[in-house]
Structure formats: structure tokens, C-alpha cells
Amino acid sequence: MTTPQPPPHPVPALASSELSGYRRQLEHAITGTPPDAPARDGLRRELEEVLAEQHSRAALTATAGRADP
């Protein structure tokens, strides 16, 4: 199992390219981890945080930063 290096900044502060790279590292680490390994839960939680941040950024881009009516 290869554990990804923690990002240099909190997830919301990462540049888009850093966020994408970290996501790939987490996905790769999860696929290389046995299903019953305790570390897998932590990797999944971190991946969920990254996915939520990417979704949030996509929503902001789609609405040009405006709040939904």
C-alpha cells in the first residue's frame, strides 16, 4: 500500500492542479489497499473531502459565483 503524501496546504487552499493530483493519489492508494485495512476508511474520508471541494468549485464556476435564486 502506498500512502499519499499529505498536501502542502489544507484541501480548500490547494490549487486545482494540486487538488486533481491529490485525488489521483488517493484513488490509487485506495485501489491498492485491501478492503479490510483500517487505513482504507481514512483514505476514503480524505477522498470524499477532495471530491466535495471539486464539486463546490465546479458549482461556483457554473453559476459564475452567484448564489442560486
Quick check: is 40 in a domain?
yes
Check: CB of residue 33 under 8 Å from CB of residue 43: yes
Residue 54 lies in a domain: yes
Query: 20: pLDDT confidence band, cut at 50, 70 and 90?
Result: very high
Domains of the chain: total: 1
C-alpha to C-alpha distance for 45 and 29, rounded to whole angstroms: 13
4 in any annotated domain: no
In a domain, 6, yes or no: no
For residue 42, being part of any structural domain is answered with: yes
Range of the domain at 24: 13-62
Q: What is the pTM of this model?
A: 0.86
Give 31-67 pLDDT, tens digit per residue: 999 999 999 999 999 999 999 999 999 999 898 877 6
Q: Between vectors from CA 58 to CA 8 and to CA 50, what angle results, nearest 5°? A: 35
